[in-house]
A and B are shown apart, each in its own frame.
Chain A
Amino acid sequence: MSEQLLNVAGLGKRFGGFVALDCVDLAVKSGERVGLIGPNGSGKSTLVNCLCGTLVNETGSVTFDGRKIDGLIAHQRTRLGIARSFQLPRPFLSLSVAENLRVPLLYTVDARPGRHRMTSAELHDRCLELLRLVGLEEKAHERPVDLTQVEMRKLELARAMAAEPKLLIADEAMAGLSQSEVTDIVALLIRLNERGITVILIEHIMRAVMSFSQRLVVLVSGRKIADGLPEEVIRDPEVERAYLGQ
């Protein structure tokens, strides 16, 4: 299916006098794999925050799955099917690793109309299944504070996946991972995509971005400067100047 899942029109966000996002347009088709790159401070995370409802944009509008979601708060958007992982992991420290995944299951998946409430056993199994996908199964009963940075990023990603989203936004989920781990995560995301989940990947690791994306979007200083096929975008002179050629 290639109908439009996400349509961002003229999105703008300022912090006081500073313009973080300037009239950003973005259209994502259902099932697409979009890569989003840009230098630090270009507004990538701000864009994610606006899409997810964590921040409120001043101008522009966002349409998701056929309905305008402006005005909906974060948890409502998550229930509609947008999930994100945070750039700096934000685990629930007083819960165990497995319990961290239970939360989106209880509050997002279970809360969707037409779903029956999962039993305790079903929840437990689903948590373990998700942990297995990211390779954290052994740490199920540990506290997040005992995890390594890398493991926390995986937990972050698993928690976003637990919400069974239609659109998954992975915000620099692979920072600090080894080569093989990066390959694993990319493979994981592609598998999720094959199951029908649309993915927006925000990353600095070019190898991952290039191997993953069907389409590449470049954000510089709050403005979108390129949007197209990855091979073409990286050869765009403006992109080279702003981001790649240092």
Chain B
Amino acid sequence: MRSLPFLIVSLVVAAIIFMIARTFANDYVFFAGYTVLQFVVLATAWNILGGYTGYVNFGTAAFFALGAYTTVFFHKAYPLPIPVLIVIAAMVSGLVGLGMGYLTLRLRGSFFAIATLALAVVLQTLIVNWDFVGGSRGAYIIRPREVAILGSYIQYLFLIMLLLSVAAIATARTIERSRLGYGFATIRDDELAAEAAGVPTLKLKLIATMISGAFMGMAGAPFPYYIGYLEPASAFGLPYAVNSIAMPMIGGTMSWIGPVIGALLLGTIQQIATVTISSAVNLLLVGVLLVAFVIIAPNGIMGLLKRGRRKT
């Protein structure tokens, strides 16, 4: 299926999902669904860099929080509608990704991974010390109660995240099938041979980092309105990093479907676990699943499915 038809089909599916969600009397569906969709975007974004090129980003939280704090900044300085905030967040996160990538992507992948951790902490420290956005005390964002046409605000947020998911997935899929996708795959497989074959590896890695960072920032932009109170410890929290790595690795990193499966599966499990057991156990589960899959099924669920298909 070519890219444009896929996009149209995805939008139709999204519309259907939205309609179904509205049939529930409870707004909880939208709250929970928002979180799961947020993971879809984060996992897909992570995979564009981590899965396609093999460069691990431990600092998902950094880009996510950048998007969130961009919103906080504008909310306090000059309120803007969310779609505009998303675009700004994309630019901010994308640029930061580009800058960091330029500094560290010429080194080995393991150095890059460590640098992403460093970035998260540096940014967190900067935010903690920046009183305008609340510093360590945090910032309160008052959510409007209602939105024209749709009704409750959370439905609006859900719809935005739904559209972002479609955008992320469509982007990932388009990249996969394009010339860029081949380039990314060669970087992952053998960077040295890729260079020898004419692939401009640094340029491609920078592109991947930018796109990945931008989408993570976009996922973060609506977050303050969703959560109402943003403080650095939770915005930069490790769960974002673990989840955005675990979901693609469990679902499968080779194609766009993997992160989606991983996000839907893990996201739903986590929602259930947090509500029924505790949030700490839920995180433990993610960690254990990550390690288990990485050892036993390195190509994730998609890999297992493919193996099964090949045997029959």
The reply to whether A and B meet directly (CB within 8 Å) is yes
Evaluate contact between A94 and B188: CB separation under 8 angstroms: yes
B254 within 8 A of A: yes
Q: Could you say which of A54, A91, A104 contacts B192, with CB atoms under 8 Å apart?
A: A54
B196 within 8 A of A: yes
Q: Could you say which of A75, A91, A94, A159 contacts B195, with CB atoms under 8 Å apart?
A: A75
Known: A75-B201, A92-B185, A92-B193. A106 touches B254 (CB 8 A): no
Q: Could you say which of B179, B198, B200 contacts A163, with CB atoms under 8 Å apart?
A: B198
Evaluate contact between B197 and A78: CB separation under 8 angstroms: yes
The closest CB in chain A to the CB of B203 belongs to A75
How far, in angstroms, from A52 to B192 measured CA to CA in the complex? 11
Evaluate contact between A74 and B196: CB separation under 8 angstroms: yes
Known: A75-B200, A78-B197, A104-B197. A95 touches B192 (CB 8 A): no
Q: How far is the CB of B310 from chain A (nearest CB, A)?
A: 11
The closest CB in chain B to the CB of A162 belongs to B197
B199 within 8 A of A: yes
Q: Could you say which of A91, A103, A162 contacts B182, with CB atoms under 8 Å apart?
A: A103
B60 within 8 A of A: no
The count of chain A contact residues (Cβ–Cβ below 8 Å) is 28
Evaluate contact between B189 and A107: CB separation under 8 angstroms: no
B232 within 8 A of A: no
How far, in angstroms, from A227 to B192 measured CA to CA in the complex? 30
Known: A75-B201, A92-B185, A94-B188. A86 touches B196 (CB 8 A): yes
What residues of A have a CB within 8 angstroms of the CB of B199 in the complex?
A: 75, 103, 107
The closest CB in chain A to the CB of B193 belongs to A90
Evaluate contact between B189 and A102: CB separation under 8 angstroms: no
What residues of B have a CB within 8 angstroms of the CB of A163 in the complex?
A: 197-198
A187 within 8 A of B: no
Size category, B interface: 10 to 19
B97 within 8 A of A: no
B194 within 8 A of A: yes
How far, in angstroms, from A29 to B211 measured CA to CA in the complex? 45
Evaluate contact between B190 and A107: CB separation under 8 angstroms: no
Q: Could you say which of A52, A74, A93, A107 contacts B183, with CB atoms under 8 Å apart?
A: A107
Evaluate contact between A111 and B190: CB separation under 8 angstroms: no
What residues of A have a CB within 8 angstroms of the CB of B183 in the complex?
A: 103, 106-107
What residues of B have a CB within 8 angstroms of the CB of A53 in the complex?
A: 195
Q: How far is the CB of B183 from chain A (nearest CB, A)?
A: 7
B186 within 8 A of A: yes
A84 within 8 A of B: yes
How far, in angstroms, from A111 to B204 measured CA to CA in the complex? 14
What residues of A have a CB within 8 angstroms of the CB of B197 in the complex?
A: 75, 78, 103-104, 107-108, 159, 162-163
What residues of A have a CB within 8 angstroms of the CB of B193 in the complex?
A: 86, 90-92
Evaluate contact between B189 and A54: CB separation under 8 angstroms: no
Evaluate contact between A92 and B189: CB separation under 8 angstroms: yes
Q: Could you say which of B188, B192, B194, B254 contacts A103, with CB atoms under 8 Å apart?
A: B194
Evaluate contact between B196 and A54: CB separation under 8 angstroms: yes
How far, in angstroms, from A163 to B195 measured CA to CA in the complex? 12
What residues of B have a CB within 8 angstroms of the CB of A102 in the complex?
A: 182
A215 within 8 A of B: no
What residues of B have a CB within 8 angstroms of the CB of A223 in the complex?
A: none
What residues of A have a CB within 8 angstroms of the CB of B186 in the complex?
A: 92, 95, 103
A99 within 8 A of B: yes
What residues of B have a CB within 8 angstroms of the CB of A91 in the complex?
A: 189-190, 193
Q: How far is the CB of B62 from chain A (nearest CB, A)?
A: 29
Evaluate contact between B198 and A90: CB separation under 8 angstroms: no
Q: How far is the CB of A76 from chain B (nearest CB, A)?
A: 8
Evaluate contact between A95 and B201: CB separation under 8 angstroms: no
Evaluate contact between A74 and B195: CB separation under 8 angstroms: yes
A154 within 8 A of B: no
A79 within 8 A of B: yes
How far, in angstroms, from A107 to B199 measured CA to CA in the complex? 6
What residues of B have a CB within 8 angstroms of the CB of A83 in the complex?
A: 196
Evaluate contact between A79 and B192: CB separation under 8 angstroms: no
What residues of A have a CB within 8 angstroms of the CB of B185 in the complex?
A: 92, 94-95
How far, in angstroms, from A191 to B197 measured CA to CA in the complex? 22
Q: Contact residues of A with B, CB < 8 Å?
A: 52-54, 73-75, 78-79, 83-84, 86, 90-95, 99, 102-104, 106-108, 111, 159, 162-163
Jot down 20 A-B pairs with beta carbons below 8 A, ordered by A. Answer: A53-B195, A78-B196, A78-B198, A86-B196, A90-B192, A92-B190, A92-B194, A93-B190, A94-B185, A94-B188, A95-B182, A99-B182, A103-B186, A103-B194, A106-B179, A106-B182, A107-B183, A107-B199, A107-B200, A163-B197
6 closest Cβ contacts across the A-B interface? A108-B198, A74-B195, A90-B193, A107-B198, A78-B198, A92-B189
4 more contacts with CB within 8 A, not counting A91-B189, A107-B199, are A79-B198, A94-B188, A104-B197, A107-B183
